[in-house]
Amino acid sequence: MQLSRDALLHAYRRMATIRAFEERLHEEIKTGQIAGFTHLYCGQEAAAVGVCEHLADDDYIVSTHRGHGHCIAKGCDVKGMMKEIYGRRDGICKGKAGSMHIADISIGMLGANGIVGAGAPQAVGAAMAAKLDGKGKVSIAFSGDGACNQGTTFEAMNMAVVTKAPCIFVFENNHYSEHTGVEYAVGTARDIASRAEAFGMKVWRANGSDFFDTYEAMADLLAYVRGGGGPAAIELDTERFYGHFEGDPQRYRGPGELERIREQRDCLKSFRARVSAEGLLDLADLDAIDAEVAQLIEEATTEAQAAPAPDPSEVADDVYVSY
Amino acid sequence: MTVMSIRDAINHTLHAEMERDPNVVVLGEDIVGGNGTAGGPEAIGGIWGATGGLYAKFGPDRVIDTPISESAIVGAAAGLALAGKRPVAELMFADFIGVSLDQLWNQMAKFRYMFGGKTTCPAVVRMIYGAGMNAAAQHSQSVYALLTAMPGLKVVMPASPADAKGLLTEAIRGDDPVMFFEHKALFTMKGEVPDGDYRIPFGQARLTREGGDVTIVTCGRMVSFSEKAADNLAAEGIGCDVIDLRTTSPMDEEAILDSVEATGRIVIVDESPPRCSLAADIAALAANKAFTALKAPPQMVTGPHSPIPFARELEKAWVPSPAGIEDAVRRTLAFR
Amino acid sequence: MAKLTAFTMPKWGIEMSEGLVAEWMVSEGEDFAKGATLTLIETDKITNEIEAEAPGRFARILGEVGVTYPVGALLAVLAEGDASAGEVDAFIAAFQPADASFAGTEGDTASAPAAAAKPDAAPAIPDTLPISPAARARAIEMACDVSQLKGSGRGGRITLQDVDQATSLAAPLKLVGRLELSPQGEAFASPMARRLAAQHGVDLAGLSGTGPHGRISRADVMSKAATARPAPTAGEAGVERIVMTPMRKAIARRLTEAKTTIPHFYVRRRVRADRLLAFRAAAAGPRASVNDYLLRACALALIEVPQVNIQVHGTEIHRFAAADISVAVATDKGLITPVLRNADAMSVGEISVRMAELAQRARDGQLRPEQFEGGSFSLSNLGPYGVEQFDAIINPPQGAILAVGTARPEPIDDDGAFRIVPVLHLALSCDHRAIDGADGGRFLSAVAALIEQPERL
């Protein structure tokens, strides 16, 4: 399918931003300045971006604990995100959320979630709301091969089908649920999409490490869903460069696995190769984007490091609207 | 004023709120009933009857029967709320919070706080609770203490039809997640309900009997039991304040403490086992903030530390009774 | 069998303690419907009707028209169904007015220690009995027979509270009873605020609330009630009205009680003070005041004439072995009388130091209760104000008080010679219920003798 030059540049910028953001975090976390758990998205950028490039601010997404990629792909403010991960007062969530719970409801990002599988029913609810509004909006539940085993995911899929909610279940199968391989944990192993199919929805499959493959499959899927076809699911096969969480010794990796992934499943590399081979873009344009992105991430990091911490007096703020 | 039952008051309020605000959406198991059957929708009319007539008026888009999927029901309510709707979800039995607890506890309760105050989750979860109908251990529990303990949720239990209307209206129009407890044995309780539109703010207790000797604090079905006990005692010259909390989160501490400071004796009636209960919470409040006023230790009238039994005689022995409440009042008066 | 219930004097408002039966609207045996007016009751605040809460009949009417009865008293017996005279009599006999029923279990019988406390009656506590260490110690201390106790702890364990309950003697219970349901109204007020507003006649409308969400609280109503007393009429020029402080009110009450209930008699004497003043001037060390010497003199005299070193309690006289003397100290809040304890065992110098401490603490408002309670005798000295003589009012429960004026040059008979020396006028006020004239006279002589021979001090 044909994407405009602007669309291609936009998609690349998004993916490059996610990559640079996560790689920088990978370095900074080692200094000990960042508290709590962080789960990096490097290697899966094409999945988030291939999906979200189709969405507007009033479409909804619900993310997982590995949510930075989805946040950036949906348009969250990068500097605000960095401050949030550093636990600063001016982070997107005022330092109350941290990495696992970043949200920006105003642009339809209904939150990363620390509970595996918890997002799926919420995405169905948002889809029910979208259906009531009748404007063709959709709601996307990002899940992993881990979440696909949670009862909430099954309940959500069935609920979406019986209520005909415009909910899209995106299963990013990155072959590991935490430290356990998908061959072991998922009864249907490399075939998660068939589960969704069994629940009664139409399914797609795509290469989640390739932007074009994902983008094109999603175009098809969204035409179906926005056209009133009901809920749908897509299984994106992808792999993550880093561990389940930062600090994960990754003893479950095979010899040479990490090198293979970096070499063969790097979506930025494959994007560059493709646009260059097909003469779609000048690589210099992509280099320029890389430089701008590097600059943005550098600023975001230094600003976050210097930003003020929340005041202890805020600890019990914003529990209720009024009490 | 119209005399109506609590069930009717709830039904009336749902109708009124759904008319007033197109964003109000109702969902739950068999709240319509009959979908996908030969009898068709509303063949059953909803198991508790509180949602009767809504489907006919507002249609399947806003009155949604769900499969048996409590996590998905509560989770969908959370998602609907984040996406700008005002969902009223029903848990057929409050005991089923077990199946859906994550969506209440880690999700709905925490959205506003985790997201830096930048969102609201105006969801209401109605849950039908309480013993007295031999529904046995898994369908009779009063689980409000658990939810009261969770910051971010509000917990409400009306004890009269007038309060049911005002409190449910407040719950639906308010912007915080509300756990709305309806006692199964109180659905038929009748009372006068003011006509027209009104809201009862949360955290405002109601004094249903007044007296100067003992403070009785309670909620839900135990309010009428406490009133019976108080009336019996009044005939002997013993005066009891009976405080109907109406809401346990937020809770009207001031009403409790004002009364305890006047009487010096407190009896808390709680239809639940004693450990980590609402009764224990209020006893601690009295001991902490009214210590010098107390003339006797706080008395807690609760069920035993056991699940709720099935047999009639056993359930009767389990649930606090007006006689048991009277005994507690006499015990506190006898303390030297 | 008929159901008989008591119809008692109601309680309207927390202050009401009695009411007068003004009129009966129904007669004995006459059936009445729900809502019928039964009787008219008058209190010092209001006159109100009592309406029947249910249809019924009075099997017996006891309250007499024109007679006042306390709250809770049995005025009539309500019957559902027929009741024989015997049943009604039995009911009346068994009836305990709410106040009396609890009082009856304590009262005078409590002054004898409870059976459980007989020192030799309590058996030893077996080691295997489940009882907390503190409870065991308390049981032993109070000689409590724990074998009769039902423990409230887990598994029947006996707790400290159980032992305290079994051995305590507390004041009788006074019940308030049921109160009228406060009007609900439109105002946003807490339940207690409504009740107090109704009782104190405060209008909730227009009150601003300091409670949560701006709710009118108890404090808001009570501060309005306090300020609602009529403001003093501005018309009387040159008159400043000062409301008595609680302390002033307490003084007023005590001294009124003393003056009206104690039969005072007065014993007066002049005493030469020249030798005392000379002795004082010649004394080494920091100079004690004349008052300190007088205290010492009183203390020694109280030991010499113990009939004056007493407190009077009803029909009992308590005689003390030591001399604890209350000394009047003027402060800007009023008269405070700290007690100088064991004054007989202290030298003038020690008395001086102690008095300085007590006086300062009194002025600073830092006296502890045990420092101004008690005492068996008082000394009041208006000498510094040039008063020649005066009569003081006894501080109950003490038996006497000595009033001293200034030392004025007056003529005395000094062993036949006519001399002018400083003379003190002493006036001793005594409680004639416990102290006779002779005792008063002897005491005053003793004091005089000591003042006139200061080396004995």
**Which residues in chain C have their CB less than 8 angstroms from residue B239's CB?**
11, 175-179
Of all residues in chain C, the percent with pLDDT exceeding 70 is: 91
Q: Do C72 and B262 touch (CB under 8 A)?
A: no
**Which residues in chain B have their CB less than 8 angstroms from residue C69's CB?**
none
Q: Do the Cβ atoms of C70 and C41 come closer than 8 Å?
A: no
| pLDDT score of C109 | 40
Specify whether B183 is catalytic: no
Confidence of residue C366 (pLDDT cuts 50, 70, 90): confident
**Which residues in chain B have their CB less than 8 angstroms from residue C182's CB?**
207, 210
Whether C150 shows a pLDDT value over 60: the answer reads yes
Name the closest residue on chain A to residue B178, using Cα atoms.
A320
How many Cβ atoms from other residues are within 10 Å of residue C238's Cβ? 4
Identify the CA nearest to C220 among candidates C246, C194, C238, C185: C194
Q: What distance in Å separates residue A312's CA from the closest CA in chain B?
A: 14
**Which residues in chain B have their CB less than 8 angstroms from residue C176's CB?**
211-213, 239, 263
**Which residues in chain B have their CB less than 8 angstroms from residue C168's CB?**
336
Residues 6+ apart with CB under 8 A from B288: none
Q: What distance in Å separates residue A124's CA from the closest CA in chain B?
A: 6
Q: Do the Cβ atoms of C200 and C185 come closer than 8 Å?
A: no
Domains of chain C: 3-166 (2.40.50.100), 247-456 (3.30.559.10)
Task: Suggest the residue from B170, B243, B258 to mutate for an interface test with chain C (most C CBs closer than 10 A).
Answer: B258
Task: Suggest the residue from A163, A199, A314, A315 to mutate for an interface test with chain B (most B CBs closer than 10 A).
Answer: A163
* Residues B90, B29: Cα–Cα separation, whole Å: 7
**Which residues in chain C have their CB less than 8 angstroms from residue B238's CB?**
98, 175, 177-178
Confidence of residue C237 (pLDDT cuts 50, 70, 90): confident
**Candidate from A255-264, C240-249, C437-446 with smallest mean pLDDT:** C240-249
Q: What distance in Å separates residue B230's CA from the closest CA in chain C?
A: 9
Amino acid (one-letter) located at C44: D
Over residues C306-327, the mean pLDDT reads 92
Whether C120 shows a pLDDT value over 80: the answer reads no
* Residues B48, B35: Cα–Cα separation, whole Å: 16
Among A120, A162, A323, whose Cβ lies nearest the Cβ of B67?
A162
Amino acid (one-letter) located at B65: D
Please list the alpha-helical segments (H only) found in chain B.
6-20, 54-62, 70-82, 97-102, 111-114, 144-148, 161-173, 222-234, 253-263, 278-289, 312-318, 322-334
In the block, tokens 């880690």 appear at B106
Q: Do A124 and B75 touch (CB under 8 A)?
A: yes
SS3 call for B9? helix
Q: Do A121 and B74 touch (CB under 8 A)?
A: yes
What is the torsional sign of CA C218, C222, C224, C225? Answer: positive
Q: Do the Cβ atoms of B175 and A321 come closer than 8 Å?
A: yes
Q: Do the Cβ atoms of B321 and B327 come closer than 8 Å?
A: no
Domains of chain B: 2-193 (3.40.50.970), 206-334 (3.40.50.920)
* Residues B10, B157: Cα–Cα separation, whole Å: 12
| pLDDT score of A20 | 98
Give all chains having 3 or more CB-to-CB distances under 8 Å with chain A.
Answer: B
Q: Do B66 and A128 touch (CB under 8 A)?
A: no
Q: What distance in Å separates residue B236's CA from the closest CA in chain C?
A: 7
What pLDDT tens digit does each residue of chain A (323 aa) get?
A: 789 999 999 999 999 999 999 999 999 998 888 988 899 999 999 999 999 999 999 999 999 999 999 999 999 999 999 999 999 999 999 999 999 999 999 999 999 999 999 999 999 999 999 999 999 999 999 999 999 999 999 999 999 999 999 999 999 999 988 888 888 888 887 799 999 999 999 999 999 999 999 999 999 999 999 999 999 999 999 999 998 889 888 888 889 999 999 999 999 999 999 999 999 999 999 999 999 999 999 999 999 999 999 999 999 999 999 99
Which residues in A230-258 are b (16+ Cβ under 10 Å) and which e? bbbbbbbbbbbbbbbbbebeeeeeeeeeb
Over residues C446-456, the mean pLDDT reads 93
* Residues C190, B251: Cα–Cα separation, whole Å: 12
In the block, tokens 């039809």 appear at B161
Any C CB within 8 A of B213 CB:
yes
Q: What distance in Å separates residue B111's CA from the closest CA in chain C?
A: 24
Name the closest residue on chain B to residue A105, using Cα atoms.
B119
**Which residues in chain B have their CB less than 8 angstroms from residue A105's CB?**
82, 115, 118-119
Residue-wise DSSP of C354-408: HHHHHHHHHHHT---HHHHS--SEEEEE-GGGT-----PPP-TTBSEEEEE---E
Q: Do the Cβ atoms of C329 and C359 come closer than 8 Å?
A: yes
Identify the CA nearest to A48 among candidates A218, A288, A182, A177: A218
Strands C417-431 and B24-28: unpaired
* Residues B45, B32: Cα–Cα separation, whole Å: 5
Q: For A5-306, which CATH superfamily applies?
A: Thiamin diphosphate (ThDP)-binding fold, Pyr/PP domains (3.40.50.970)
Over residues C35-53, the mean pLDDT reads 85
- Looking at per-residue confidence, does B228 or C144 come out higher? B228
Name the closest residue on chain A to residue B250, using Cα atoms.
A323
Among B69, B102, B115, whose Cβ lies nearest the Cβ of A105?
B115
Whether C157 shows a pLDDT value over 60: the answer reads yes
**Which residues in chain B have their CB less than 8 angstroms from residue A60's CB?**
79, 82-83
Chain C 157-216, residues with CB within 8 Å of chain B CB atoms: 161, 165, 168-170, 173, 175-182, 190-195, 211-213, 215
In the block, tokens 């039902």 appear at C150
Question: What are the pLDDT digits (tens) for C223-236?
Answer: 988 776 555 555 56
Q: Do A139 and B83 touch (CB under 8 A)?
A: yes
Any B CB within 8 A of C17 CB:
no
Question: What are the pLDDT digits (tens) for C367-393?
Answer: 776 777 789 999 999 988 889 999 999
* Residues B161, B8: Cα–Cα separation, whole Å: 8
Which residues in C350-366 are b (16+ Cβ under 10 Å) and which e? bbbebbeebbebbeeee
pTM, two decimals, is 0.67
Token couple for A166? 């415009």
Whether C101 shows a pLDDT value over 70: the answer reads no
Among A60, A151, A319, whose Cβ lies nearest the Cβ of B152?
A319
Question: What are the pLDDT digits (tens) for B31-60?
Answer: 888 888 877 888 665 688 899 999 999 999
DSSP state of B2: E
Q: Do B234 and C190 touch (CB under 8 A)?
A: no
**Which residues in chain A have their CB less than 8 angstroms from residue B175's CB?**
321-322
Residues 6+ apart with CB under 8 A from C293: C276, C280, C348, C451, C454, C457
Q: What distance in Å separates residue B32's CA from the closest CA in chain A?
A: 14
Given B12, B15, B139, B305, the catalytic residue: B139
Any B CB within 8 A of C219 CB:
no
Burial (Cβ within 10 Å: 0-12, 13-18, ≥19) of residue C430: buried
CB pairs under 8 A between B and C: 87
Domain boundaries, chain A: 5-306
ipTM of this complex prediction, to 2 decimal places: 0.86
* Residues A182, A160: Cα–Cα separation, whole Å: 25
Any C CB within 8 A of B266 CB:
no
Amino acid (one-letter) located at B313: E
What pLDDT tens digit does each residue of chain B (336 aa) get?
A: 999 999 999 999 999 999 999 999 999 998 888 888 877 888 665 688 899 999 999 999 999 999 999 999 999 999 999 999 999 999 999 999 999 999 999 999 999 999 999 999 999 999 999 999 999 999 999 999 999 999 999 999 999 999 999 999 999 999 999 999 999 999 999 999 999 999 999 999 999 999 999 999 999 999 999 999 999 999 999 999 999 999 999 999 999 999 999 999 999 999 999 999 999 999 999 999 999 999 999 999 999 999 999 888 899 999 999 999 999 999 999 998
Q: Do A129 and B83 touch (CB under 8 A)?
A: yes
What is the overall mean pLDDT for chain B? 95
* Residues A275, C38: Cα–Cα separation, whole Å: 101
Please list the alpha-helical segments (H only) found in A202-318.
211-224, 257-264, 267-277, 283-306
* Residues B23, A97: Cα–Cα separation, whole Å: 28
Q: Do C215 and B204 touch (CB under 8 A)?
A: yes
Q: Do B258 and C161 touch (CB under 8 A)?
A: no
| pLDDT score of C111 | 42
Per-state percent for chain B, helix, strand, coil, to nearest 5 = 40, 20, 40
Over residues C303-322, the mean pLDDT reads 93
Question: What are the pLDDT digits (tens) for C191-206?
Answer: 999 999 988 889 898 8
Any B CB within 8 A of C154 CB:
no
In the block, tokens 């006689």 appear at B323
Residue-wise DSSP of C139-189: HHHTT--GGG----SGGG-B-HHHHHHHH---PPP----EEPPPP--SS-B
Distance of CA C256 to the CA centre of its chain: 14
First to last CA, chain B: 47
**Strands of C43-92, DSSP E:** 47-51, 56-61, 68-70, 74-80
Task: Suggest the residue from B24, B113, B175 to mutate for an interface test with chain A (most A CBs closer than 10 A).
Answer: B113
